[in-house]
């Protein structure tokens, strides 16, 4: 379905409810620059670390697009697990994975409530930015502690910069991108207001510090377009 969520007046903060879940794939593809390319890159990097029967978690799996692509394009048998706190997202993910014939276990839970079973890979695409800063590092530490030795954490985030002029250029460039994707000025404004104080981005440097403070031995930016970035961290 086509994303028209913000064509009408929104009087609440952004949430991953049924209305958003129903159009989420279109929303991602039109709202996140080079989403498919960064997703493919994440999968290509991850496959180099995975072995037969390894466990993979996707935190904030939404409609399971990344896990489905990994399952389709990895020549090894993997234990794929999707986690999302949104019931609407999980329901759509279950139907979608079944339609694509990819076996995925789903948990409709808070990330902190789940015990992770020694995964080799944990994915998190545009999820940490919705975790309050006070809890964000706690979650990354839980991710680090849960990973097997040599395990990897691949995550994508919207980012900001400490330079005010460049940050303004980021915002302007992203605004142009959304207009090119067919979003009206009203829709862009509505979504920005709905996300205020809900999506809280870090700088690249803040993400790196958080990752290394939690124990990861290596951190790398593997993709970046203006204010969107994909990272890999190795335990």
Domains present along the chain, CATH in parentheses? 10-234 (3.40.50.150)
Encode pLDDT of 153-182 as tens digits.
Answer: 999 999 999 999 999 999 999 999 888 888
CA distance 78 to 104: 9
User: Can you give the pLDDT at residue 93?
Assistant: 94
Residue 108 has pLDDT above 80, yes or no: yes
Mean pLDDT throughout 109-117? 93
CA distance 226 to 102: 33
Instruction: Give the model's confidence band at 11: pLDDT under 50 very low, under 70 low, under 90 confident, else very high.
Output: low
Residue 33 has pLDDT above 80, yes or no: yes
Residue 138 has pLDDT above 50, yes or no: yes
User: Can you give the pLDDT at residue 3?
Assistant: 45
Q: How many CA atoms lie within 13 A of 167 on its CB side?
A: 11
Mean pLDDT of all residues in the chain?
A: 89
Long-range Cβ contact pairs of 11-16 (< 8 A, separation 24 or more): 12/194, 13/194, 13/195, 13/196, 13/197, 13/198, 14/191, 14/194, 14/195, 14/198, 14/199, 16/62, 16/84, 16/85, 16/86, 16/88, 16/89
What pTM was estimated for this model as a whole? 0.89
User: Can you give the pLDDT at residue 5?
Assistant: 47
Residues 208, 220 contacting (CB under 8 angstroms) = no
User: Can you give the pLDDT at residue 124?
Assistant: 97
Instruction: Give the model's confidence band at 29: pLDDT under 50 very low, under 70 low, under 90 confident, else very high.
Output: confident
Residue 192 has pLDDT above 80, yes or no: no
What DSSP letter does each residue of 180-233 carry, written as one string?
HTT--HHHHHHHHHHHTTTS--EEHHHHHHHHHHTT-SEEEEEEEETTEEEEEE
User: Can you give the pLDDT at residue 187?
Assistant: 74
Q: Which of 201, 171, 165, 169 is nearest to 188 (CA)?
A: 171
Mean pLDDT throughout 200-223? 97
Mean pLDDT throughout 204-216? 98
* Of 85 and 191, the one with more pLDDT: 85
Please state, for a pLDDT cut of 90, what percent of the chain lies above it.
74
User: Can you give the pLDDT at residue 193?
Assistant: 74
């Amino acid at each position: 379905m086509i994303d028209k969520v913000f064509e009408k007046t929104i009087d609440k903060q952004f949430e991953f409810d049924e209305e958003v879940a129903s159009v989420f794939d279109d929303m991602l593809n039109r709202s996140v620059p080079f989403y498919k390319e960064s997703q493919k890159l994440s999968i290509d990097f991850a496959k180099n670390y995975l072995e037969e029967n390894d466990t993979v978690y996707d935190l904030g799996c939404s409609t399971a697009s990344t896990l489905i692509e990994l399952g389709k394009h990895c020549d090894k048998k993997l234990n794929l697990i999707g986690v999302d706190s949104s019931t609407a997202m999980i329901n759509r993910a279950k139907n979608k994975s079944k339609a694509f014939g990819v076996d995925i276990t789903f948990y409709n839970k808070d990330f902190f409530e789940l015990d992770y079973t020694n995964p080799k890979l944990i994915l998190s695409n545009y999820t940490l930015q919705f975790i309050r800063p006070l809890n964000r590092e706690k979650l990354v530490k839980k991710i680090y502690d849960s990973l097997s030795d040599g395990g990897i954490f691949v995550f994508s985030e919207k980012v900001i910069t400490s330079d005010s002029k460049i940050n303004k250029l980021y915002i302007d460039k992203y605004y142009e991108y959304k207009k090119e994707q067919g979003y009206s000025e009203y829709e862009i404004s509505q979504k920005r207001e709905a996300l205020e104080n809900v999506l809280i981005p870090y700088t690249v440097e803040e993400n790196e510090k958080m990752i290394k403070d939690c124990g990861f031995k290596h951190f790398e930016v593997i993709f970046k377009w203006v204010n969107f970035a994909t990272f890999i961290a190795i335990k």
